Amino acid sequence: MRADSPGTRSGPRLSAKWLTISLFLLPALVLYIVFVIFPIIQAAHFSLYKWNGLGPLDDFVGLKNYQVALASDVFWQAVSNNVLVIVLSLLLQIPFSLGLAVLLNRRFPGRAIFRLLFFVPYVLSEAITGIVFSLLLRPDALFDSTLQTVGLQGMIQDWLGNTDVVMITLFVIISWKYFGFHMILLLAGLQGIPKEIEEAALIDGAGRWQAFRYVTFPLIGPTLRVSIFLSVIGALQLFDMVWVMTGGGPLNASTTMAVNMFKTGFTRQQMGYGSALAVLLFICALVVALLYQRYVLRRDIDGAVTAYNA
């Protein structure tokens, strides 16, 4: 492209270039606009109507759907459940993954097997994983019986039926599925740090913890930020596992923003209100994305934002 001298750029050359660009770009652009951009705009449009999804779209209600949503207990229950998963992920799941990544960053026999194994849950379907765990968590199935066998029968709960426990249960299973992903990400980050840097710190008299805290930890900052970001985005869109395990119940105790939206739109046939809930979810994701853009360098995002877009 650069080789072209300014003289030859005019006329047919230029339009040939644009023809090439449009031919190459068009398929992706059409597909993307039709199935991604357009539906998101449509959601904003539908959200201004009271509509069951079937009849004519003519009952314009303005922002009423948003008012109803923001005044609804179920909506805030869903938001608080999403926030709970985000907070627990950041406090428990990511540090746990980082710890394992640090362990696996050393050379020892069997390392490759552990790494391979820890990543297995990530490739399994979230829905199918949820069903397997539902079976194991049934009353008197594997989990309860194990607790009984080791003398902890006092801890037995109705894991998916108790409103106080259900979110914790789901969080543990979500972590089971996703910690390996974060671990692999962070491990790759650690492996990008030259060993000599930490060794230099050790030789200079730093303890292992100090070397990690003041040398390694700052250097995996970018990877850690990607990991945190993906975790937040993933937690915001939590749906599959909740849907197959609890359907948001009991009594909406495990509902999430996506589950609430889905139920409103499809189960209760309130497409307008459901679309308003979708727009609110979209806004949350957008805010997270903008904060990320603001605080994290652009290059972090290239090739990294992947995991949960199932």
Report the site for another protein in 272-301 (rule: CB under 8 A).
274-275, 278, 281-282, 285-286, 288-289, 297, 299-301
Residues 56-85 that bind another protein (CB under 8 A): none
**Residue with Cβ nearer another protein (243 or 252):** 243
CA 13 to chain centre: 45
d(CA 170, CA 178): 12
Give which of 281, 275, 296 is closest to 57, Cα–Cα. Answer: 275
Range in contact with another protein (rule: CB under 8 A) among 17-25, 66-74, 156-164, 209-217: 17-25
Check binding of 146 to another protein (CB under 8 A): yes
DSSP code string of 97-132: HHHHHHHHTS--TTHHHHHHHHHHHHHS-HHHHHHH
The residue (of 79 and 164) whose beta carbon lies closer to another protein is: 79
State both tokens at 139.
């009353």
- With CB under 8 A as the contact rule, which of the stretches 39-47, 67-75, 79-87, 153-161 interacts with another protein? 39-47
Measure the CA–CA gap between 230 and 289, rounded to whole angstroms. Answer: 10
29 vs 299: CA distance, rounded Å = 23
If one asks whether residue 42 binds another protein (CB under 8 A), the answer comes out as yes
The CA distance from 274 to 276, in Å, is 5
- The residue among 6 and 303 lying less far from another protein, judged by its C-beta, is 303
- Touching another protein, residues 91-130 (CB under 8 A): 100, 103-104, 106, 108, 110, 114, 116-121, 123-128
202: contact with another protein by CB under 8 A: yes
Stretch that binds another protein, among 62-70, 71-79, 155-163, 259-267 (CB under 8 A): 259-267
Please report whether residue 304 would count as binding another protein according to CB under 8 A.
yes
Which of the ranges 76-84, 86-94, 153-161, 258-266 carries the binding residues for another protein, by CB under 8 A? 258-266
* Count of residues touching another protein (by CB under 8 A): 111
What angle in degrees, to the nearest 10, is found between the helix axes of 73-88 and 166-191? 40
Q: Which of 29, 91, 152, 197 binds another protein (CB under 8 A)?
A: 29
User: From CA 178, how far away is CA 94, in angstroms rounded?
Assistant: 10
Please report whether residue 261 would count as binding another protein according to CB under 8 A: yes
Per DSSP, the three-state class of 15 is: helix
Neighbours of 39 (CB within 10 A): 13
Can you tell me the distance from the alpha carbon of 297 to that of 188, in angstroms, rounded to the nearest whole number?
Answer: 18
The nearer residue to another protein, 45 or 163, going by C-beta atoms, is: 45
